[in-house]
Structure 1
Amino acid sequence: MGNAIVWLTIAILSFMAVLILLFIYLVVQRMIEVRVQRKIADYVKDGSDWAYRYLIEGDAPAEQIIPDSSTKLIAMEKILRSYAKNISSDMVSARITDYAHQFLSPYYSKNLNSLNWSTRMNTLHRILEFRMKDLLDDVLNMLNENKHYSDDEYLQIYRILAAFQYEDFLQHLLNPKIEMNEMEYRKLLFELEEKPFLNMVEHYQDFPSALKHTVLDMIGVKHLVQMVPFLEERIHDEELEVRVRSLKALSQLGIVQNEKIYYPFVESENWEERMMVAKILANVDSPEAVSSLQHLLKDQSWWVRSQAAQSIVQQKNGKSVLRAIVETEEDPYAKDIGKEALGM
């Protein structure tokens, strides 16, 4: 019994000793972290004026903003990111990139080979943020080597290739190392300039559905009016989602080359198609367009009725037309939505 008490006492004391050591370790680590953060803040404060002289006034980089330690490098990252985020200037962006090439590239090249995920991921973000094309080969090596990286890393790598307009980006897009959803594809295509985007669209039929849908969306977002014929072909696609997104992109472009191809959608079984064609017809000045919109004012879907009313208002003398409809129309839905659009 006495031995049991002794061993229990030893176990309790040992456990308490471990807790005390752990507490001391955490306190020391926190003290170190606070000291490092204070040091970084001091570097940011001391280097801000010199960074301004370099980035805004065009002076040569002074010694005060040349990173000779990891804390100073972090401080300069903070300064550069602040300028990149808050100042829209090609000259400032170019100077940020020049600085990053000259002083940060060696660190980043090394960090891409780090065993720590967050170090690699943060480095990829900075490469994109500072537009460091000199590290493109290092980034490509991550794609080409046998080592496996996380989905987040691969997505960021593809964003870098897109942002740098890499000539073989399409091949990587067609044979990605990860499966991507529409939101992820959207991030990539948003980075592409017009010419490489249009070249990519030539391979539309080879794309998975998620990428096809995103391409159609981005044509509208990028306002690529030369793609109207391409979109007009897609509105006859067998897949409903392709038709809807093509109609949406056409409504965003606001160009109607052949109004007759849209009228069949007035009687579509799908409310989204009817709503999109109502939006498109706002750009058509013809009796048939007005008649179709009047028909859609009585639609069973509130969204369709609302868009039809808005489209009538946007047309020449549209308010007068809609006011007359409100006064003479017997359909209660049409009257109500007309009044709503007119603010009555």
Structure 2
Amino acid sequence: MYSRELFYFTVVLVVLLVILSGLCLYLMIKKVNDNKNRKQIDQLKEEYQLPLFHFLQEGREAEGLTVRSPLQTRALVELLAGFSKMFASEDIQERLQGFAEEHFQPFILSQIGHRRWSIRMNALYWIQDFKMKSMVEPLKKLHGSKKVSKAEEMQLLKIAVLFDEKNLVERLTETKHELTEFEYSLLFHSFREDQFRPLVSAFEELPEVMKFAIIDSIGVKNRMEHVSFLKKLLDTGGSELRVRALKAVVGMEFYLDIPTLSVHLSADSWQERLMAIKACEYIRSTELSPALQALMSDPSFYVRSQAAQSLLRLENGEALLREIAVHAEDGYARDMAEQWLERGAVS
């Protein structure tokens, strides 16, 4: 009995060793081939670099740019992708796009349908780099796939923005994967004004996460044409929308009048009071001094600290902080005034 078990164990062990040896041999051969191919691609890129550069600059295609093998295609694709990030000229970009459309379509199509995620993603990056509008229909097919990943969908949306697709708002609200505020913001930052305007028009019907990203994009991209929209949110929006709108205003360094700021300086939300104080820094008016002094006794540490910093930047701010540090009834206000006086002395 024991001899039979030992026999079976030995057979299993031998089979496993054979499998592992075969796997190791396969990986070694694959590594050697990959290194060999990589070396050939790099050599081809060196050969193609100057002819391709002259073609993009002058529009005269050289004989040396003919594509006869997969490695040559790969070398040209990688080289052209690098050039696409170097040149902003419309003429060069048009030649670059035309070259890609003429030479890379079969290769890119094969990559889009590949079973490996990384290869599909590289293909999507190249389509964006080369602005290959001939790929619109294959991309629609990819987007319709049940297996499309979130990263692929994000890249497909970036390409949709680049190609200025008409149903952008609809696609953004009906994504296969749930997008975060950060991901929406990344997309909105690349919107041209004529693409961004419909988002603002549809603001009330959009999900909350998209609303936050729209407001963020206005501030980050300094979209001054939408200041009136932010002001409307400050008057009619909910607490979180008002906080976001104030943050955008601060990012744009836009001047809000003192009556408007006074409303937000006395808001129920400490986040709203905090952002309103930050907006005060672009005015630095002594008219704000009473409100800022009152906020030195705020329940929120962050609000008290920001109020002290804003007071210190006023013309008579240091004297006001000294007065608070000595005579304020509230201990928190005295402590915060002393802290900022020390910081001011050090700086």
> TM above 0.5, one fold?
yes
Tell me the distance in 1 between the aligned counterparts of 2:130 and 2:277.
44
Deviation digits for residues 158-193 of structure 1, max 9, x if unmatched? 121122222211121222222211122112212210
Q: Match of 2:58, SS?
A: coil
**Counterpart contact for 1:298–1:333, Cα < 8 Å:** no
The 1:217/1:25 distance shift into structure 2, 3 A limit, reads same
Q: TM-score scaled to structure 2, two decimals?
A: 0.84
Deviation digits for residues 285-339 of structure 1, max 9, x if unmatched? 644323323433454545334444554566xxx3x32232244333341243245
User: Does the alignment pair 1:324 with 2:327?
Assistant: no
**Counterpart contact for 1:204–1:212, Cα < 8 Å:** yes
* Superposition map of 1:246-325 within 5 A: 246-256=245-255, 258-284=257-283, 286-312=285-311, 318=314, 320-325=315-320
1:333 corresponds in structure 2 to 336
- The amino acid of 1:155's aligned partner reads M
**Counterpart contact for 2:73–2:107, Cα < 8 Å:** no
**Counterpart contact for 2:277–2:310, Cα < 8 Å:** yes
1:213 corresponds in structure 2 to 212
The 1:88/1:343 distance shift into structure 2, 3 A limit, reads farther
1:194 corresponds in structure 2 to 193
**Counterpart contact for 2:199–2:214, Cα < 8 Å:** no
Question: Where does structure 1 lack aligned partners over 5 or more consecutive residues?
Answer: none
Tell me the distance in 2 between the aligned counterparts of 1:5 and 1:289.
89
- The amino acid of 1:334's aligned partner reads A
The 1:121/1:3 distance shift into structure 2, 3 A limit, reads same
**Counterpart contact for 1:322–1:338, Cα < 8 Å:** no
2:157 corresponds in structure 1 to 158
CA deviation after TM superposition for structure 1 residue 276, in Å: 0.8
Q: Give the RMSD, CA atoms, in angstroms.
A: 2.9
The 1:113/1:8 distance shift into structure 2, 3 A limit, reads closer
Tell me the distance in 2 between the aligned counterparts of 1:299 and 1:90.
55
**Counterpart contact for 2:312–2:321, Cα < 8 Å:** no
Deviation digits for residues 262-285 of structure 1, max 9, x if unmatched? 212222343321221012122336
The 1:268/1:107 distance shift into structure 2, 3 A limit, reads same
CA deviation after TM superposition for structure 1 residue 208, in Å: 0.8
Tell me the distance in 2 between the aligned counterparts of 1:146 and 1:18.
35
- The amino acid of 1:67's aligned partner reads V
Q: TM-score scaled to structure 1, two decimals?
A: 0.85
The 1:287/1:158 distance shift into structure 2, 3 A limit, reads same
Q: Match of 2:281, SS?
A: helix
**Counterpart contact for 1:297–1:337, Cα < 8 Å:** no
Q: Match of 1:179, SS?
A: coil
2:99 corresponds in structure 1 to 99
Q: How many residues align?
A: 338
Question: Where does structure 2 lack aligned partners over 5 or more consecutive residues?
Answer: 327-333
- The amino acid of 1:39's aligned partner reads Q
